[in-house]
Amino acid sequence: MGMLYRRKKKDPVTGVLVAQGPWWAKYYDDGRPIARSTRTTDKTEARRKLNTWEGQVAEGLHEGPRYERTRFEDLVAGIRQDYALNERKSAPRLKALITHLAAYFKQMRASAITTDRIQGYVSQRKNAGAANGTINRELACLKRMFRLADQQTPPKVARIPHIPMLEEKNVRSGFFEHEDFLALRGALPDYAKVPVTLAYYSGMRMGEVFSLQWSQVNMSDGKLFLKAQDTKTETPRVLYLTGDLSRVLEAWKRCCEEKWSFCPWISHRGGIQLRSLKHSWRQACVRVGLGKMVEDKAKGRKVWQGRIPHDLRRTAVRNMVRAGIPEKVSMAISGHTTRSVFDRYNIVNEADLKAAATRLTEYFDREKVTLSVTLAELSRQRYGVVTPKLVETSMDFVELARGIEPPTCGLQNRCSAD
């Protein structure tokens, strides 16, 4: 049975103990005493809170003061520890996500981070000009914080709040036709042609391409091996080198052995490993008409509008599907683990739609059957006059409707005997 009490403090003048401050509640959870402030000087309200807490204990839903002490900073510490222990590659990205979240939720109790507060954060970020995709990544980070806190023993949070995600309407769908790829590769400097060719034919992510070393290539067997630590999904992959890709790699290997034999990286510039193709990529795209810098009045600066290196990955998936490669094999080559993402990368363009329409027309042409029925006969049928010729063109077991109601399904064979 719980009880209410107020803490007493000695009066400095009279020396008498005087009750001060809010009412405190004392109750028991599994035999363990819990003392908790009701944060009110109204005894009726304090009694109501005590009854509520005792009811939660009885139903097994008691949160307790342990959860109230958990703050946003404790959630941040948990996810940072998880990233450090698992050596996640997206640790630099985590810092940027936490920076935006901390500006709104700093020093806030975890129990106070409700759906209403989260929607307030979303409104603030949208007013600041953040895209829906950016906000969703931040919300996903917040959700991960709560899940990690909930998985602790004992849990650090009582429950995980509902975090609604925004609809992303800016999903990229760019891809290259083969002629565009050849034009772009021709406009790139020599050091950039190899990583672009690898990404175009294999569907590898640019980060995976930049991490490749010559020791991972077996030119005699025509194989390229991707190590697990170099892939996003931490899954090793094998790529067979054929055709144009094989010729480009062989020529680049001979060049590297003559000039930069000390460099282990396939994608490099003067012996220094490549980390990005941003500058040379944009220059080449502008040169062949595949992109340009435009003024964004909302952001007050110029932004890139055109093809991006990741479009090569979408192109590779699209080309493999259209070449008739089974989707499971295509996913193994490109490194996709979920079907939904693979389907999103399988871009459909107007040429695909036109080809589908042509195939549909050819199908109808093959299936088309012409009945020898004149317009006059069809007109007489409409008014209840049925010619023997028209009846003969119908199937033997189906009787044509002569009244207002159509023949009942299942009784057509018996009606036809009349």
Q: Classify residue 136: in a domain, yes or no.
A: yes
pLDDT band at residue 391 using 50, 70 and 90 as cut-offs:
very low
Q: Specify whether 119 is located in the same domain as 260.
A: no
Quickly state the pLDDT bin for 353 (edges 50, 70, 90).
low
pLDDT of residue 87: 82
Q: Do 316 and 217 share a structural domain?
A: yes
Q: Which residue has the higher pLDDT, 42 or 299?
A: 42
Per mean pLDDT, which range of 97-111, 180-194, 354-368, 375-389 is the poorest?
375-389
Q: Are residues 101 and 187 in the same domain?
A: no
CATH number at residue 230: 1.10.443.10
* pLDDT tens profile 49-64: 888 888 877 876 666 6
Q: Whole domain around residue 108: which residue ranges? A: 72-150
Q: What is the pLDDT of residue 380?
A: 57
Identify whether 298 is part of a domain: yes
Residues 145, 182 within the same domain: no
Worst-scoring range by mean pLDDT, 68-82, 145-159, 378-392? 378-392
Q: Are residues 214 and 331 in the same domain?
A: yes
Decide: 50 and 27 in contact? Cβ < 8 Å. Answer: yes
Please name the residues in contact with 230: beta carbons below 8 A apart, sequence gap of 6 or more: 208, 211, 212
Q: Which of 137-151, 176-190, 329-343 has the lowest mean pLDDT?
A: 329-343
pLDDT band for position 317 (cuts 50, 70, 90) = confident
Question: Is the model more confident about 232 or about 247?
Answer: 247
**Is 223 in the same domain as 324?**
yes
Does the pTM of the predicted model rise above 0.75?
no
Does residue 326 fall inside a structural domain?
yes
User: Rounded mean pLDDT of 204-220?
Assistant: 90
Do 205 and 145 reside in the same domain of the chain?
A: no
The pLDDT of residue 263? 93
* 311 and 255 housed in the same domain: yes
Q: Burial letters for 333-347: b for 16+ Cβ neighbours within 10 Å, e otherwise?
A: bbbbeeeeebeebbb
**Contact between 219 and 266 (Cβ < 8 Å):** no
- CA dist 151 to 73, 101, 245, 354, Å? 17, 21, 47, 52
Q: Tens digits of per-residue pLDDT, 102-117?
A: 999 999 999 889 999 9
pLDDT at position 213:
92
384, 320: one domain: no
Residues 339, 398 share a domain: no
DSSP state of 235: -
For residue 236, what pLDDT is reported? 82
203: confidence class by pLDDT, cuts 50, 70, 90: confident
Across residues 112-137, what is the average pLDDT? 92
Residues 6+ apart with CB under 8 A from 250: 219
- For the cut 90, the answer to whether the pLDDT of residue 147 exceeds it is yes
- Per-residue pLDDT, 340: 59
pLDDT computed for residue 363 by the predictor: 59
327 and 260 within one domain: yes
Determine the Cα–Cα distance for residues 8 and 311; give it in Å rounded to an integer: 71
* pLDDT score at 414: 45
Whether residue 67 is contained in a domain is answered as no
Residue 34 in any domain: the answer is: no
Q: Are residues 81 and 217 in the same domain?
A: no
Is 132 domain-assigned? yes
Q: Which of 99, 130, 150 is the last residue of a domain?
A: 150
pLDDT, the chain, mean: 80
What is the rounded average pLDDT of the residues 76-102?
Answer: 90
368 within domain boundaries: no
pLDDT of residue 80 exceeding 70: yes
DSSP E strand stretches across 277-377 = 291-296, 301-306
Per DSSP, 113 falls in state -
Please tell me the distance from the alpha carbon of residue 213 to that of residue 230, in angstroms, as a whole number. 11
Give a yes or no: residue 25 inside a domain. no
| Counted domains in the chain | 3
